[in-house]
Amino acid sequence: MASNRVYIEHLKNVPLFNGLTRKQLERIAISGQEIKVPADTTVMEEGARGREAYLVIEGALLVRRNGRKVASLGPGAIVGELSLFDSGGRSATVIAAADSRLFVLNAADFRAVMADVPEVSHRVLASLAHRIRGLEKSVLD
């Protein structure tokens, strides 16, 4: 298991957490946990309700939507982050493409961090707004 320092280094590169201070990232880091996932293990299933997000610390994940490969993700990538805000259905199936170490952020624990540290909520909402604006621009252009 890695130290919180390793998790913080990965978290600071996640676009969702842009602009958070080291102390705020540390608060998120202590709210999660690391898991080891063997290759060929399904991490999440398309359509299933989500309750957590996964940050790749080591290894690789394969993302499939409607049975088709849409992405390969490595260290520093996050999947399932929308589940931190609602318990809607997963938009893709994610499978460990190699033995992997993942940092798991549970939605309830993440919401507790946002309640305890309101600045985290503000920064995360700003990041989401920025992402939505980018998506709107790409669709409208």
Its domain, for residue 82, covers 4-140
Specify the number of domains making up the chain: 1
Two tokens, residue 25: 């990232």
- Residue 47 predicted with pLDDT over 80: yes
Name the more confident of 116 and 62: 62
Confidence of residue 2 (pLDDT cuts 50, 70, 90): low
pTM: 0.87
Alpha-carbon span 100 to 122, nearest angstrom: 32
DSSP assignment of 50-119 equals P-EEEEEEES-EEEEETTEEEEEE-TT-EE-GGGGT--PBPSSEEEESSSEEEEEEEHHHHHHHHHH-HH
What digits encode the pLDDT tens for the residues 70-110? Answer: 999 999 999 998 888 888 899 999 999 999 999 999 999 98
CB 135 within 8 A of CB 129: no
Q: What is the CATH number of the domain that holds 56?
A: 2.60.120.10
